[in-house]
Structure 1
Amino acid sequence: RSDLTLEIPFEEYDRLKKKGFGGTNEPITDIGMIFLTNVEPMLDERVRQALVLSINKKALTDRLLRGAARPIDTLEAPGYEAYDPSIKVPYDPKKAAALMKEAGWSKDKPLKFRVQTTRGFKPKDYEVMQAIVGMWRTIGVDADLEVYEVAKHFELRAQHKLAPAAFYNWGDAIGDPSTSTGFAMFGPSPHSAWKTKDVDALIGPLWGEKDEAKRIAGYKKVDRYIAEHALVIPLFQYYQTVAFRKGLAFTPHGAGFVLPQAVKKA
């Protein structure tokens, strides 16, 4: 038996709350995202743009994740130092289909490529990717969904051998852009999948930038460039579900940590 547990399925969280258990459901610094690798067919910007535009993030967060996440459009979530709410990527399936047609693909002549995901590493990770593959199918993409363990993801990413698209949960406990956009998108980083000189030229100087305002502004510029060229697919910022027994009080942590001093008698 447990006094407190976290990362429980959303349906179970709702059920336990109705039974009188205590609970919190608050945003944390983890984000769900899809790495794009700079290999075919992702070298065609029209394809990348179409993949991004065809994903209904609100439907994913409202229906599959039952409100325990919120859509994002960059690798900076609300609360991160370089979060810029003005950077928006719309849901536009009609434009997505038009871009795919322009690139030479359609439902009658679908584009085929492999997509990788974990299953059970984060709540509903596999189901989210199933839904996204279904959304892509409507614009002329026949994606083959492969399931692997997160350890395999790390191994492949370090070797730059991920599939053209791969789901991942990125955690940035300190909310600094160097540990989100920086490590995830800088070519020499072993944590990046998209490795190109244009992005490296934007991020490179920021590693040594001593002026904090310029550094943050620089990362916002990088995030806008990445969004405009669809070089990664940010999906949503996770919420963390925590359930605890009657008689306890719990204060959630922004990075998802469960600290001893955060658990007290009610």
Structure 2
Amino acid sequence: MNKIDRRLFLKLAAAAGGALVARPDLTFADDGEIENVSIAWTSDPVTWDPNQRLAPDPQSILKTIFDQPIDQLQNLELAPNVLTDWKLADDAMSMHVWMRDDITFSDGSPMTMEDFRYTFFERIQQGDEIDLVVGFGVVSDIEIISPTEGIMRFSQPFATPAQWLSFSASFVISKAYAEKVGIEGLQTKPMGSGPYELVEYERDSRIVLKRRDDYWGELPAIKQLTFEIIPDATARLAALESGNVDFAVELSIRDVKRLQQSDRFKAIANPIARIIYVTVRADGTFEDKNIRLAAHYAINKELLSKAFFGGDAVAIDAPSIPGMPGYPEDFEFPYDPEKAKELLAQSGYGPDNPVTIGFATTNGNFAGDYDIARAIVTMWDKVGIKTDLQVITEGQWYDLNATGKLPDASLFVWENGTGDPEIFTGNMFNADLPFATFRRPDITAKIKPLFDIADYDERIRQYDELNRWLIEEGAIIPLLQAIQTIGYSNQFNFQPWTNGWILPRAITKA
């Protein structure tokens, strides 16, 4: 059902602390109840409609209120959740699915295949503006055989439905509730089948969740879970050290190492299935391939890793992570500032006559983002690329990209807990989808046929070739595998996930 090569399995399991999870029902909760855990978080969910936005950062919050059809273990292996089993047809034109019969939403109503069909088919058909269409727009019907059994049918071969059912925005919602409250209600008043209910909410400030003791699945030890929305990394650290919160995410690697020496706190730097990269546009200044490639050659990725992650962040040369399917293992794009100067000179630029580009970055959205951007500005300046740096939020990045107003380049992160190249390269460069920044018809024409290939090995081989070509074309500047940094009180134990989830059931008393 889910195919991940052995090298990836071992690498990610090691990154998660060496625990090779063998069965889906493995529990982290102990018998000790925890009254409240508070977490200093980077940003508020843009919406409470869990199907509306494909974005990594709200995922941990949304998973407290809603359930996904398929879950993931620490090592990214797919595991049963709402669905107990699934079977993709050999031609990838349908997938048979079976659901649990004991799931209830927080209003007490049972979840059935009607809710599954509504979420992954009817919402798209009725024109709801949701990112779920990116993965499931090819669903032509979901045949309901019984309240717990159905068949997803596709208008074209769909090789990755199981991966998408475990990915961002793939949460089952109640059909009856959605029809009762409408789009606006879904966006503002969440109601799901997950282990928590929302009991208090202040936009961009505070989220308070109460545990559902009637939850159908594994019951977390935490009775009340609070997310304090604190965009600034320094302020998140201060909240932790003052005792106002128990956990703080996306701290600097310097602060993580200092907390690790403390007798009051613990801290981790967790390599996750997320990449840090520089987006480039295909028009404007970057229409010139020489400038695009020069911008890539000028960046010393190993230095970025050493300076901002203590050397722990793996440098990458393709839009994926080494060991994941589709990553060209024997491919390298070297740091070569002299080559960058040579390319710029061919287009009439250099240190004495620099080309000017716009460059956007977030500040505090992930560990080191603003500092990494400033370091890149310095590297570019040395070869003859002058940069107008501006700070934006994650939400602004999506809005600017959707309206074609994103600057020439931007520092961003891309999460792909499935490891499948379709959700990396396929979604990054298909101009018919909302996430592409380098938009060119010839690239979209190369990518779209890959979505239809049912043969796994052939599909991965073609993504391998495409990734090489995209880098040589200067269509993206991959930098590093992202490092998730978390500091927390020594009163707790915490088990990280290699997709970056922070799960309540992974927090227990020390």
Superposed CA deviations along residues 144-183 of structure 1, whole A, max 9, x for unmatched, are 1111122111011112221111111111121111111111
The 10-residue stretch of structure 1 (251-260 or 2-11) with the greater mean CA deviation from structure 2: 2-11
AA partner of residue 27 (structure 1): P
Q: Which residue pairs with 1:199 in the alignment?
A: 443
Number of aligned residue pairs: give it: 266
Q: Which residue pairs with 1:13 in the alignment?
A: 256
The partner residue of 1:86 within 327, 330, 339 is 330
Contact 1:79 1:175 in 2 (8 A): no
Q: Which residue pairs with 1:76 in the alignment?
A: 320
Q: Which residue pairs with 1:123 in the alignment?
A: 367
Please give the alpha-carbon distance, in whole angstroms, between the structure 2 residues aligned to 1:244 and 1:166: 31
Please give the alpha-carbon distance, in whole angstroms, between the structure 2 residues aligned to 1:9 and 1:134: 20
Superposed CA deviations along residues 13-59 of structure 1, whole A, max 9, x for unmatched, are 11111113333222101211111111122111111111100100111
The partner residue of 2:406 within 162, 175, 189 is 162
Deviation (angstroms), 1:261: 3.2
Deviation (angstroms), 1:6: 2.7
What does 1:237-256 align with in structure 2 at a 5 Å threshold?
237-256=481-500
TM-score w.r.t. length of structure 1 = 0.94
Contact 2:318 2:467 in 1 (8 A): yes
Q: Which residue pairs with 1:213 in the alignment?
A: 457
Q: Which residue pairs with 1:146 in the alignment?
A: 390
CA RMSD of aligned residues (A): 1.6
Q: Which residue pairs with 2:67 in the alignment?
A: none
Please give the alpha-carbon distance, in whole angstroms, between the structure 1 residues aligned to 2:507 and 2:325: 28
Please give the alpha-carbon distance, in whole angstroms, between the structure 2 residues aligned to 1:231 and 1:202: 13
Please give the alpha-carbon distance, in whole angstroms, between the structure 2 residues aligned to 1:113 and 1:8: 29
Q: Secondary structure at the match of 1:69?
A: coil
Please give the alpha-carbon distance, in whole angstroms, between the structure 1 residues aligned to 2:333 and 2:438: 19
> Are positions 1:132 and 2:376 aligned together?
yes
Please give the alpha-carbon distance, in whole angstroms, between the structure 1 residues aligned to 2:275 and 2:437: 16
Deviation (angstroms), 1:79: 4.5
Please give the alpha-carbon distance, in whole angstroms, between the structure 1 residues aligned to 2:247 and 2:407: 37
Contact 2:361 2:412 in 1 (8 A): yes
Please give the alpha-carbon distance, in whole angstroms, between the structure 2 residues aligned to 1:246 and 1:134: 39
Q: Secondary structure at the match of 1:42?
A: helix
Q: Secondary structure at the match of 2:314?
A: strand
Please give the alpha-carbon distance, in whole angstroms, between the structure 2 residues aligned to 1:7 and 1:129: 16
Please give the alpha-carbon distance, in whole angstroms, between the structure 2 residues aligned to 1:4 and 1:68: 22
Contact 1:199 1:222 in 2 (8 A): no
Deviation (angstroms), 1:76: 0.8
Deviation (angstroms), 1:265: 4.2
AA partner of residue 10 (structure 1): I
Bigger radius of gyration among the two: 2
Please give the alpha-carbon distance, in whole angstroms, between the structure 2 residues aligned to 1:87 and 1:77: 12
Q: Which residue pairs with 2:31 in the alignment?
A: none
Q: Which has the higher contact order (CA 8 A, sep 6+)?
A: 1
Q: Which residue pairs with 1:48 in the alignment?
A: 292
Contact 1:186 1:203 in 2 (8 A): yes
Superposed CA deviations along residues 231-254 of structure 1, whole A, max 9, x for unmatched, are 111111111122333354322211
- In structure 2, the gaps of 5 or more residues are 1-242
Please give the alpha-carbon distance, in whole angstroms, between the structure 2 residues aligned to 1:30 and 1:106: 34
Please give the alpha-carbon distance, in whole angstroms, between the structure 2 residues aligned to 1:247 and 1:151: 34
Contact 2:278 2:410 in 1 (8 A): yes
The 10-residue stretch of structure 1 (48-57 or 252-261) with the greater mean CA deviation from structure 2: 252-261
AA partner of residue 6 (structure 1): V
TM-score w.r.t. length of structure 2 = 0.50
